[in-house]
Structure 1
Protein backbone atom coordinates (compact mmCIF):
# COMPACT_ATOMS: atom_id res chain seq x y z
CA UNK A 1 0.00 0.00 0.00
CA UNK A 2 2.68 2.53 0.98
CA UNK A 3 4.44 3.93 -2.06
CA UNK A 4 1.58 2.85 -4.35
CA UNK A 5 -1.76 3.98 -2.90
CA UNK A 6 -0.62 5.59 0.34
CA UNK A 7 2.29 7.96 0.35
CA UNK A 8 5.62 7.28 1.97
CA UNK A 9 6.33 8.69 5.41
CA UNK A 10 6.21 12.48 5.24
CA UNK A 11 9.29 14.56 5.98
CA UNK A 12 7.36 16.68 8.47
CA UNK A 13 6.14 13.53 10.16
CA UNK A 14 9.64 12.13 10.36
CA UNK A 15 10.95 15.33 11.88
CA UNK A 16 8.17 15.30 14.48
CA UNK A 17 8.97 11.70 15.47
CA UNK A 18 12.67 12.44 15.92
CA UNK A 19 11.84 15.56 17.92
CA UNK A 20 9.55 13.66 20.29
CA UNK A 21 12.20 10.96 20.75
CA UNK A 22 14.77 13.69 21.46
CA UNK A 23 17.75 11.69 20.24
CA UNK A 24 20.11 12.16 17.25
CA UNK A 25 18.18 11.41 14.06
CA UNK A 26 20.69 8.93 12.64
CA UNK A 27 20.51 6.79 15.78
CA UNK A 28 16.75 7.14 15.98
CA UNK A 29 16.12 5.84 12.46
CA UNK A 30 18.57 2.98 12.88
CA UNK A 31 16.58 1.76 15.90
CA UNK A 32 13.21 2.57 14.30
CA UNK A 33 13.84 0.49 11.18
CA UNK A 34 15.96 -2.16 12.88
CA UNK A 35 12.97 -3.24 14.97
CA UNK A 36 10.22 -2.52 12.47
CA UNK A 37 9.77 -5.92 10.81
CA UNK A 38 8.53 -7.72 13.96
CA UNK A 39 6.21 -4.77 14.65
CA UNK A 40 4.82 -4.91 11.10
CA UNK A 41 4.46 -8.69 11.39
CA UNK A 42 2.39 -8.40 14.56
CA UNK A 43 4.95 -10.07 16.79
CA UNK A 44 4.85 -7.04 19.09
CA UNK A 45 2.38 -4.23 19.77
CA UNK A 46 2.98 -0.50 19.71
CA UNK A 47 4.06 0.10 23.30
CA UNK A 48 6.42 -2.89 23.25
CA UNK A 49 7.90 -1.76 19.93
CA UNK A 50 8.63 1.73 21.22
CA UNK A 51 10.08 0.38 24.46
CA UNK A 52 12.42 -1.70 22.29
CA UNK A 53 13.39 1.38 20.30
CA UNK A 54 14.12 3.21 23.57
CA UNK A 55 16.23 0.31 24.83
CA UNK A 56 18.21 0.26 21.57
CA UNK A 57 18.86 3.97 22.06
CA UNK A 58 19.83 3.56 25.69
CA UNK A 59 16.97 5.73 26.94
CA UNK A 60 13.46 5.51 28.39
CA UNK A 61 10.51 7.10 26.63
CA UNK A 62 7.88 6.51 29.31
CA UNK A 63 4.16 5.79 28.68
CA UNK A 64 3.16 9.38 27.82
CA UNK A 65 5.96 9.82 25.30
CA UNK A 66 5.26 6.41 23.76
CA UNK A 67 1.63 7.40 23.26
CA UNK A 68 2.81 10.58 21.51
CA UNK A 69 5.22 8.57 19.35
CA UNK A 70 2.47 6.15 18.30
CA UNK A 71 0.21 9.07 17.40
CA UNK A 72 2.99 10.81 15.45
CA UNK A 73 3.96 7.59 13.69
CA UNK A 74 0.39 7.06 12.49
CA UNK A 75 0.17 10.66 11.28
CA UNK A 76 3.44 10.37 9.39
CA UNK A 77 2.07 7.48 7.29
CA UNK A 78 -1.50 8.74 6.87
CA UNK A 79 -1.41 10.58 3.52
CA UNK A 80 -2.79 8.89 0.43
CA UNK A 81 -2.52 9.57 -3.30
CA UNK A 82 -5.97 10.81 -4.34
CA UNK A 83 -5.29 9.85 -7.95
CA UNK A 84 -4.72 6.26 -6.94
CA UNK A 85 -7.81 6.26 -4.73
CA UNK A 86 -9.86 7.45 -7.69
CA UNK A 87 -8.44 4.64 -9.79
CA UNK A 88 -9.45 2.13 -7.14
CA UNK A 89 -12.97 3.45 -7.45
CA UNK A 90 -12.75 2.93 -11.21
CA UNK A 91 -11.75 -0.67 -10.67
CA UNK A 92 -14.62 -1.23 -8.29
CA UNK A 93 -17.06 0.17 -10.85
CA UNK A 94 -15.58 -2.16 -13.49
CA UNK A 95 -15.87 -5.19 -11.15
CA UNK A 96 -12.12 -5.85 -11.43
CA UNK A 97 -11.01 -7.97 -8.44
CA UNK A 98 -8.11 -6.56 -6.42
CA UNK A 99 -6.36 -7.54 -3.21
CA UNK A 100 -4.02 -5.70 -0.89
CA UNK A 101 -0.78 -6.87 0.72
CA UNK A 102 0.80 -4.31 3.03
CA UNK A 103 3.47 -4.19 5.71
CA UNK A 104 1.60 -2.32 8.40
CA UNK A 105 1.44 -2.43 12.22
CA UNK A 106 -1.89 -2.90 13.98
CA UNK A 107 -2.28 0.70 15.16
CA UNK A 108 -1.84 2.02 11.63
CA UNK A 109 -4.13 -0.66 10.16
CA UNK A 110 -6.89 0.38 12.57
CA UNK A 111 -6.40 4.01 11.55
CA UNK A 112 -6.74 3.17 7.85
CA UNK A 113 -9.82 1.05 8.40
CA UNK A 114 -11.45 3.90 10.30
CA UNK A 115 -10.58 6.67 7.85
CA UNK A 116 -10.44 5.16 4.36
CA UNK A 117 -13.64 3.55 3.07
CA UNK A 118 -11.99 2.66 -0.25
CA UNK A 119 -10.41 -0.32 1.53
CA UNK A 120 -13.74 -2.12 1.18
CA UNK A 121 -13.06 -2.53 -2.54
CA UNK A 122 -10.28 -5.06 -1.89
CA UNK A 123 -11.48 -8.64 -1.98
CA UNK A 124 -8.55 -9.66 0.23
CA UNK A 125 -6.74 -7.41 2.70
CA UNK A 126 -3.43 -8.94 3.75
CA UNK A 127 -2.24 -6.71 6.57
CA UNK A 128 1.09 -8.07 7.76
CA UNK A 129 0.23 -7.51 11.43
CA UNK A 130 -2.73 -9.89 11.07
CA UNK A 131 -1.38 -12.59 8.77
CA UNK A 132 1.89 -13.16 10.64
CA UNK A 133 4.07 -12.52 7.58
CA UNK A 134 5.67 -9.35 6.23
CA UNK A 135 7.11 -8.77 2.78
CA UNK A 136 9.48 -9.93 1.43
CA UNK A 137 8.95 -13.11 3.49
CA UNK A 138 7.64 -15.96 1.26
CA UNK A 139 4.78 -16.62 3.67
CA UNK A 140 3.21 -13.25 2.86
CA UNK A 141 2.78 -14.18 -0.79
CA UNK A 142 1.60 -17.71 0.01
CA UNK A 143 -1.04 -16.30 2.35
CA UNK A 144 -2.40 -14.00 -0.34
CA UNK A 145 -2.44 -16.69 -3.00
CA UNK A 146 -4.36 -18.98 -0.66
CA UNK A 147 -6.80 -16.20 0.25
CA UNK A 148 -7.36 -15.38 -3.41
CA UNK A 149 -7.60 -19.01 -4.48
CA UNK A 150 -5.57 -18.08 -7.55
CA UNK A 151 -2.69 -19.67 -9.41
CA UNK A 152 0.53 -17.62 -9.08
CA UNK A 153 0.83 -17.04 -12.82
CA UNK A 154 -2.59 -15.35 -12.89
CA UNK A 155 -1.61 -12.78 -10.26
CA UNK A 156 0.15 -9.50 -10.89
CA UNK A 157 1.94 -8.09 -7.85
CA UNK A 158 2.57 -4.34 -7.82
CA UNK A 159 5.07 -2.78 -5.44
CA UNK A 160 7.53 0.10 -5.36
CA UNK A 161 10.36 -2.00 -3.86
CA UNK A 162 12.48 -4.29 -6.01
CA UNK A 163 13.17 -6.75 -3.17
CA UNK A 164 9.44 -7.28 -2.71
CA UNK A 165 8.99 -7.77 -6.45
CA UNK A 166 11.79 -10.35 -6.59
CA UNK A 167 10.29 -12.26 -3.68
CA UNK A 168 6.90 -12.36 -5.39
CA UNK A 169 8.45 -13.58 -8.63
CA UNK A 170 10.26 -16.32 -6.70
CA UNK A 171 6.79 -17.58 -5.77
CA UNK A 172 5.75 -17.66 -9.43
CA UNK A 173 3.80 -14.40 -9.29
CA UNK A 174 4.20 -11.82 -12.03
CA UNK A 175 5.66 -8.54 -10.79
CA UNK A 176 5.49 -4.88 -11.74
CA UNK A 177 7.72 -2.25 -10.17
CA UNK A 178 5.46 0.73 -9.51
CA UNK A 179 6.71 4.14 -10.65
CA UNK A 180 3.62 6.02 -11.85
CA UNK A 181 -0.10 5.26 -12.22
CA UNK A 182 0.18 5.76 -15.98
CA UNK A 183 2.89 3.13 -16.36
CA UNK A 184 0.98 0.69 -14.19
CA UNK A 185 -2.16 1.31 -16.23
CA UNK A 186 -0.23 0.48 -19.41
CA UNK A 187 1.30 -2.66 -17.88
CA UNK A 188 -2.10 -3.92 -16.80
CA UNK A 189 -3.61 -3.33 -20.21
CA UNK A 190 -0.81 -5.31 -21.84
CA UNK A 191 -0.76 -8.11 -19.29
CA UNK A 192 -4.48 -8.80 -19.01
CA UNK A 193 -5.87 -7.80 -22.36
CA UNK A 194 -9.09 -6.97 -20.46
CA UNK A 195 -8.52 -3.50 -19.06
CA UNK A 196 -9.19 -0.32 -20.96
CA UNK A 197 -6.97 2.71 -20.55
CA UNK A 198 -9.52 3.99 -18.04
CA UNK A 199 -8.99 1.14 -15.61
CA UNK A 200 -6.11 0.50 -13.23
CA UNK A 201 -5.34 -2.03 -10.56
CA UNK A 202 -4.35 0.01 -7.53
CA UNK A 203 -3.94 -3.03 -5.34
CA UNK A 204 -0.83 -5.02 -4.61
CA UNK A 205 -2.23 -8.27 -6.02
CA UNK A 206 -4.65 -8.86 -8.83
CA UNK A 207 -5.89 -12.17 -10.30
Structure 2
Protein backbone atom coordinates (compact mmCIF):
# COMPACT_ATOMS: atom_id res chain seq x y z
CA UNK A 1 0.00 0.00 0.00
CA UNK A 2 1.33 3.45 -0.94
CA UNK A 3 2.19 5.76 1.99
CA UNK A 4 -0.05 8.74 2.71
CA UNK A 5 1.14 12.35 2.20
CA UNK A 6 3.44 13.67 4.90
CA UNK A 7 1.23 16.66 5.74
CA UNK A 8 -1.40 14.26 7.07
CA UNK A 9 -1.30 13.16 10.69
CA UNK A 10 -4.21 10.75 11.01
CA UNK A 11 -6.24 8.17 9.10
CA UNK A 12 -9.86 7.36 9.93
CA UNK A 13 -11.36 4.15 8.55
CA UNK A 14 -14.91 2.88 8.33
CA UNK A 15 -15.74 -0.70 9.33
CA UNK A 16 -18.47 -2.25 7.16
CA UNK A 17 -17.52 -2.58 3.46
CA UNK A 18 -14.05 -1.17 4.20
CA UNK A 19 -12.22 -2.84 7.06
CA UNK A 20 -14.78 -5.63 6.79
CA UNK A 21 -15.64 -7.15 3.42
CA UNK A 22 -19.09 -7.28 1.88
CA UNK A 23 -21.14 -10.21 3.24
CA UNK A 24 -21.10 -13.32 1.07
CA UNK A 25 -24.10 -14.19 -1.08
CA UNK A 26 -24.61 -17.40 0.89
CA UNK A 27 -24.80 -15.63 4.24
CA UNK A 28 -27.28 -13.09 2.91
CA UNK A 29 -29.30 -15.88 1.29
CA UNK A 30 -30.08 -17.59 4.57
CA UNK A 31 -31.50 -14.37 6.05
CA UNK A 32 -33.34 -13.33 2.90
CA UNK A 33 -34.92 -16.77 2.60
CA UNK A 34 -36.13 -16.57 6.18
CA UNK A 35 -38.14 -13.47 5.21
CA UNK A 36 -38.93 -14.83 1.72
CA UNK A 37 -37.44 -11.84 -0.13
CA UNK A 38 -34.85 -11.43 -2.88
CA UNK A 39 -31.47 -9.80 -2.29
CA UNK A 40 -32.52 -6.38 -3.59
CA UNK A 41 -35.53 -6.27 -1.29
CA UNK A 42 -33.46 -7.58 1.60
CA UNK A 43 -30.93 -4.76 1.36
CA UNK A 44 -33.67 -2.14 1.00
CA UNK A 45 -35.34 -3.40 4.17
CA UNK A 46 -32.02 -3.86 5.94
CA UNK A 47 -31.18 -0.18 5.42
CA UNK A 48 -34.67 1.17 6.11
CA UNK A 49 -34.41 1.25 9.90
CA UNK A 50 -30.68 0.76 10.24
CA UNK A 51 -29.95 4.35 11.18
CA UNK A 52 -32.20 4.15 14.23
CA UNK A 53 -30.64 0.82 15.23
CA UNK A 54 -27.07 2.02 14.77
CA UNK A 55 -27.86 5.18 16.74
CA UNK A 56 -29.23 3.03 19.58
CA UNK A 57 -32.68 4.59 19.24
CA UNK A 58 -34.21 1.13 18.86
CA UNK A 59 -33.18 -2.32 20.09
CA UNK A 60 -32.21 -5.32 18.01
CA UNK A 61 -35.57 -6.86 18.86
CA UNK A 62 -37.40 -3.82 17.53
CA UNK A 63 -35.19 -3.58 14.43
CA UNK A 64 -35.85 -7.15 13.35
CA UNK A 65 -39.45 -6.81 14.48
CA UNK A 66 -39.89 -4.00 11.97
CA UNK A 67 -38.19 -6.13 9.32
CA UNK A 68 -40.65 -8.93 10.10
CA UNK A 69 -43.61 -6.55 10.05
CA UNK A 70 -42.62 -5.18 6.64
CA UNK A 71 -42.37 -8.71 5.22
CA UNK A 72 -45.37 -10.08 7.13
CA UNK A 73 -43.14 -12.67 8.82
CA UNK A 74 -43.62 -14.09 12.31
CA UNK A 75 -40.52 -14.25 14.51
CA UNK A 76 -40.22 -16.39 17.61
CA UNK A 77 -37.58 -15.78 20.28
CA UNK A 78 -35.20 -18.42 18.93
CA UNK A 79 -35.31 -17.00 15.41
CA UNK A 80 -34.76 -13.49 16.73
CA UNK A 81 -31.69 -14.60 18.65
CA UNK A 82 -30.40 -16.35 15.53
CA UNK A 83 -30.84 -13.15 13.50
CA UNK A 84 -28.94 -11.15 16.12
CA UNK A 85 -26.05 -13.62 15.84
CA UNK A 86 -26.12 -13.71 12.05
CA UNK A 87 -26.14 -9.92 11.86
CA UNK A 88 -22.74 -9.92 13.53
CA UNK A 89 -21.42 -12.95 11.68
CA UNK A 90 -22.07 -11.53 8.20
CA UNK A 91 -19.87 -8.54 9.04
CA UNK A 92 -16.89 -10.47 10.38
CA UNK A 93 -14.79 -11.15 7.26
CA UNK A 94 -11.93 -8.70 7.74
CA UNK A 95 -9.88 -7.12 4.96
CA UNK A 96 -6.45 -8.24 6.16
CA UNK A 97 -4.41 -5.97 3.83
CA UNK A 98 -6.08 -2.95 5.43
CA UNK A 99 -5.22 -4.21 8.90
CA UNK A 100 -1.60 -4.61 7.80
CA UNK A 101 -1.63 -1.11 6.34
CA UNK A 102 -3.09 0.30 9.55
CA UNK A 103 -0.32 -1.41 11.48
CA UNK A 104 2.29 0.19 9.21
CA UNK A 105 0.69 3.60 9.69
CA UNK A 106 1.02 3.26 13.45
CA UNK A 107 4.67 2.26 13.11
CA UNK A 108 5.25 5.32 10.91
CA UNK A 109 3.80 7.58 13.61
CA UNK A 110 0.34 8.29 12.20
CA UNK A 111 -2.71 8.36 14.44
CA UNK A 112 -5.53 6.00 13.52
CA UNK A 113 -9.22 5.80 14.30
CA UNK A 114 -12.16 3.56 13.52
CA UNK A 115 -15.39 5.48 12.87
CA UNK A 116 -18.40 3.30 12.20
CA UNK A 117 -22.17 3.23 12.31
CA UNK A 118 -22.57 0.13 14.43
CA UNK A 119 -25.32 -1.08 16.75
CA UNK A 120 -24.57 -1.56 20.43
CA UNK A 121 -24.54 -5.35 20.47
CA UNK A 122 -21.97 -5.39 17.67
CA UNK A 123 -19.74 -2.71 19.18
CA UNK A 124 -19.71 -4.65 22.46
CA UNK A 125 -18.79 -7.82 20.54
CA UNK A 126 -15.90 -6.11 18.77
CA UNK A 127 -14.58 -4.54 21.96
CA UNK A 128 -14.63 -7.84 23.81
CA UNK A 129 -13.27 -10.16 21.14
CA UNK A 130 -11.14 -8.29 18.58
CA UNK A 131 -7.41 -8.03 19.20
CA UNK A 132 -7.02 -6.00 16.01
CA UNK A 133 -8.89 -3.12 17.66
CA UNK A 134 -5.65 -2.12 19.37
CA UNK A 135 -4.39 -0.95 15.97
CA UNK A 136 -6.66 2.08 16.35
CA UNK A 137 -5.86 4.89 18.76
CA UNK A 138 -9.57 5.64 19.03
CA UNK A 139 -12.77 3.82 18.13
CA UNK A 140 -15.97 5.80 17.70
CA UNK A 141 -19.10 3.68 17.31
CA UNK A 142 -22.40 5.39 16.55
CA UNK A 143 -24.46 3.47 19.10
CA UNK A 144 -22.10 4.46 21.92
CA UNK A 145 -22.19 8.20 21.16
CA UNK A 146 -25.80 8.35 19.86
CA UNK A 147 -24.69 9.96 16.60
CA UNK A 148 -24.49 8.48 13.12
CA UNK A 149 -22.65 9.32 9.93
CA UNK A 150 -23.03 11.46 7.89
CA UNK A 151 -23.82 13.82 10.79
CA UNK A 152 -20.79 16.15 11.01
CA UNK A 153 -20.97 15.92 14.81
CA UNK A 154 -19.66 12.36 14.87
CA UNK A 155 -16.76 13.29 12.57
CA UNK A 156 -15.88 16.21 14.85
CA UNK A 157 -16.00 13.94 17.89
CA UNK A 158 -13.50 11.63 16.20
CA UNK A 159 -11.21 14.52 15.26
CA UNK A 160 -11.38 15.79 18.83
CA UNK A 161 -10.38 12.38 20.17
CA UNK A 162 -7.43 12.25 17.77
CA UNK A 163 -6.50 15.88 18.51
CA UNK A 164 -6.03 16.70 14.85
CA UNK A 165 -7.49 19.23 12.44
CA UNK A 166 -9.65 18.13 9.50
CA UNK A 167 -6.93 19.11 7.03
CA UNK A 168 -4.51 16.73 8.75
CA UNK A 169 -6.84 13.78 8.32
CA UNK A 170 -7.60 11.19 5.64
CA UNK A 171 -11.04 9.59 5.89
CA UNK A 172 -11.81 6.32 4.11
CA UNK A 173 -15.43 5.20 3.72
CA UNK A 174 -17.55 3.37 1.15
CA UNK A 175 -20.49 5.81 1.17
CA UNK A 176 -20.73 9.01 -0.83
CA UNK A 177 -22.57 10.95 1.89
CA UNK A 178 -19.88 10.19 4.46
CA UNK A 179 -17.06 11.10 2.11
CA UNK A 180 -18.78 14.38 1.24
CA UNK A 181 -19.14 15.27 4.92
CA UNK A 182 -15.45 14.67 5.57
CA UNK A 183 -14.51 16.86 2.60
CA UNK A 184 -16.98 19.58 3.64
CA UNK A 185 -15.28 19.71 7.03
CA UNK A 186 -11.96 20.34 5.31
CA UNK A 187 -10.46 16.87 5.38
CA UNK A 188 -9.09 14.53 2.74
CA UNK A 189 -11.37 11.63 1.85
CA UNK A 190 -11.40 8.59 -0.39
CA UNK A 191 -14.47 6.57 -1.31
CA UNK A 192 -13.39 2.98 -0.79
CA UNK A 193 -14.12 0.28 -3.36
CA UNK A 194 -11.22 -2.17 -3.09
CA UNK A 195 -7.66 -2.48 -1.83
CA UNK A 196 -6.11 -1.94 -5.31
CA UNK A 197 -8.35 1.10 -5.90
CA UNK A 198 -7.40 2.56 -2.52
CA UNK A 199 -3.70 2.05 -3.23
CA UNK A 200 -4.09 3.85 -6.57
CA UNK A 201 -5.92 6.80 -5.00
CA UNK A 202 -3.41 7.07 -2.17
CA UNK A 203 -0.68 7.41 -4.76
CA UNK A 204 -2.61 10.24 -6.41
CA UNK A 205 -3.01 12.30 -3.21
TM-score class, shorter-chain normalisation, is 0.7 to 0.9
Partner of 1:145: 159
Q: Equivalents in 1 of 2:168, 2:107: separation in Å?
A: 21
Give the structure, 1 or 2, with the largest relative contact order (CA under 8 Å, sep 6 or more). Answer: 2
TM superposition score normalised by structure 2: 0.82
- Cα deviation for residue 24 of structure 1 reads 2.2
| RMSD over aligned Cα atoms | 2.1
Partner of 1:40: 54
List gaps (5 residues or longer) in structure 2: 1-14
**Which of 146, 164, 173 is the equivalent residue of 2:187?**
173
- Cα deviation for residue 189 of structure 1 reads 6.3
Residues 152-192 of structure 1 deviation map (CA, whole Å, 9 limit, x = unaligned): 1111111122221112112222212223435545655665x
Partner of 1:199: none
Q: Equivalents in 2 of 1:115, 1:10: separation in Å?
A: 22
Partner of 1:22: 35
Shift in alpha-carbon separation, 1:56–1:162, aligned structure 2, 3 A: same
List gaps (5 residues or longer) in structure 1: 192-207
Question: Number of residue pairs matched?
Answer: 190
Map 1:103-142 to 2 at 5 A: 103-142=117-156
Partner of 1:13: 27
**Which of 83, 99, 106 is the equivalent residue of 1:69?**
83
Contact 1:135 1:164 (C-alpha < 8 Å) held by counterparts: yes
Question: Is the aligned partner of 1:157 residue 2:199?
Answer: no
Q: Equivalents in 2 of 1:180, 1:63: separation in Å?
A: 38
